[in-house]
Amino acid sequence: MNWQWFHRLGSPRWFYEKTSRWSPWVGTLALITMAVGVMWGLGFAPEDSKQGNSYRIIFIHVPAAFLALAGYYVMAIAGAVGLIWRMKLSFMVMKCAAPIGAVLTFISLVTGAVWGKPTWGTWWVWDARITSMLILFFLYLGVIALQGAYQSRDLSNKSSAILSLVGMINIPIIYKSVDWWFTLHQPATLKFTGPSSIDPSMAYPLLIMIFGFYCLYAWLLMMWTRLEILEQEQKTNWVKELLLTGSIKNSA
Amino acid sequence: MKFQFESITDLLFMSGHGPYVWGAYLVTFCAVGLLIYIPYKLKRQIIAQVKRQQKLEKPAH
């Protein structure tokens, strides 16, 4: 089997050159789909019969929470690949996934609290879903803190990867929390297995927003990783040439 | 599919839920905006740093 693609994948320069072409497209797609989703969700989706207009927060709350969880997998898997194959690029992806994931978790917690006030009558409750999401937020912060805790980059990367992997135990708990401890947080509205409990008039804008958030995540991760590459490789000739002249002449 | 509100004021007020809904969207907009802005700002800093370094390595004669 030809493993050349796998080795190329580990090359920061290869990644940088490839994503130069992809990044603007993914970014444009993310912004357009999110603009459509927000307008649809805020203005055209019908009002909820029980929750009134407050439910419109779902169009950002659910996609942000989806990506907060998916982003954790990205971070942990990147960490594992870095540990196993000692791939520099993989550790860079892990490092960049942490602040993006932390912000998405923050968004889902804040929008959840704001949604909770008119719906449940309280900003915060120590419900299983909310508490496990708060733990997810702290796990992300832990990885960010570990990245800055050591002088040696190697040590920072290894310890962050181990924390990410250990923290993965939290992800299935978050998913199942609404079923295991059924308290205030409502169970999943969109289901992969079985019929969803949401009307299509509300489901379409929600699915558009989820797709938009996936694109946004991919775009952000590319941008942050590209920046990390420039930062870590700034002593190399190709980065110097790129930053000083705006392009690389002899591409490898 | 039709627009659900009678007027812009109605859209902003959302029968009392406006501040919650718009507040949540505003927080999200700012947080995502920050995630987009930070790499742009840092890239400019790195370019300036590399240029400074280049000048130090090759002093003008």
Q: What is the pLDDT of residue A250?
A: 55
Among B31, B47, B50, the residue with its CB nearest the CB of A103 is B31
pTM of the model: 0.93
What ipTM was reported for this prediction? Answer: 0.91
Q: Which residue has the tokens 């920061």?
A: A12
Among A110, A224, A234, the residue with its CB nearest the CB of B27 is A110
Instruction: With CB atoms and an 8 Å threshold, state whether B20 touches A117.
Output: yes
pLDDT, mean of residues A206-216: 97
Chain A with chain B: Cβ pairs closer than 8 A: 97
Residue A171 has pLDDT above 80, yes or no: yes
Q: What is the mean pLDDT of chain A?
A: 92
Instruction: With CB atoms and an 8 Å threshold, state whether A99 touches B17.
Output: no
Contact A69, A174 (CB under 8 A): yes
* Spatial CA neighbour of A11 closest among A229, A237, A157: A229
pLDDT digits (tens, 9 = 90+) for A32-89: 999 999 999 999 999 898 899 999 999 999 999 999 999 999 999 999 999 999 899 9
Q: Which residue of B has its CA nearest to A236?
A: B50
**Cα gap A143→A140, rounded to integer Å:** 5
Secondary structure (DSSP) of A138-193: HHHHHHHHHHTT-S-HHHHHHHHHHHHHHHTTHHHHHHHHHHHS-SSSPPPSS-SS
The 8-class DSSP code of residue A127 comes to -
Low-confidence ranges of chain B (pLDDT < 50): none
The 8-class DSSP code of residue A2 comes to -
